[in-house]
Structure 1
Amino acid sequence: MENMLAWMAWTPPVAVFFSLIVLMLIVMTVWEMRVPTVERKGFLPISTTRGDRLFIGLLTAAYINLIWAGLTDLHQAVGAVIGFVVLLIVMRWG
């Protein structure tokens, strides 16, 4: 059992990443309870709610980050910033 847990690298950046995801989900839950969302049509090819756009934006940001890590030798923070900007664009206009 010890060896199974040893391969998970809980470094500070990983802990911050997962903490931010949890915080984002808490904020979205409170926001949804206070101001219920309605479906709307943006540039995405489907009608979406806030939660849909968050999910799509997070997946897109994750794929951008993975592609950045796999195809470039540039600093990973640049890929993370690009992914975050895309997440914000999807949340606002998606």
Structure 2
Amino acid sequence: MAWMAWTTPTALFFVIIACILVTFTILAIKFPETPRLGVLRIETTRGDRLFITLLGSAFINLAWLGLVGASQPFALIVCLIYAVGVFRWV
């Protein structure tokens, strides 16, 4: 896979995503949940909220990169606040 130009941050990103997916799979097996209604008025599960969080975080990072520049650590803080909000209220 030398054609992909793997860097440490890229590899770390995919390892973290894989760990999150494994963790959510274990949680779903150990603690099954029923869907709940949030502020969007749609039923969501943990997996749905994870998907919404990852998708929103991608857009936050792209907007941050376009508007602010390459100072991405602050975008991570915004993404973490966004994730807490999604898992709490969506």
**Shared fold by TM > 0.5?**
yes
In structure 2, give the amino acid aligned to 1:29: T
- Structure 1 equivalent of residue 11 of structure 2: 15
Aligned to 1:27: 23
Pairwise CA distance, 1:44: 2.3
Q: Kindly report structure 1 stretches of 4+ aligned residues shifted beyond 4 Å.
A: none
Structure 1 segments unaligned to the other structure (5+ residues) = none
User: C-alpha distance in 1, partners of 2:33/2:58?
Assistant: 25
Q: Write the distance in 2 (CA, Å) between the matches of 1:35 and 1:68.
A: 36
- Matched pairs, number: 90
Equivalence map 1:48-59=2 (5 Å): 48-59=44-55
Whole-Å separation in 1 of the counterparts to 2:69 and 2:10 = 20
TM-score w.r.t. length of structure 2: 0.88
Alignment partner of 1:87 is 2:44: no
CA distance, structure 1, for counterparts of residue 64 and residue 88 of structure 2: 23
- Show the counterpart of 2:60: 64
Stretch of structure 1 that moved more, 37-46 or 20-29: 37-46
- In 1, the alpha carbon distance for the partners of 2:75 and 2:28 equals 30
Between Structure 1 and Structure 2, which shows a larger proportion of strand residues?
A: 2
**Deviation per residue, 1:10-46 (Å, 9 max, x gap):** 2211111111100000000000000111110112231
Q: Aligned partners of 1:82 and 1:24: how far apart in 2?
A: 19
Percent identity, aligned pairs only, is 43
Unaligned runs of 5+ in 2: none
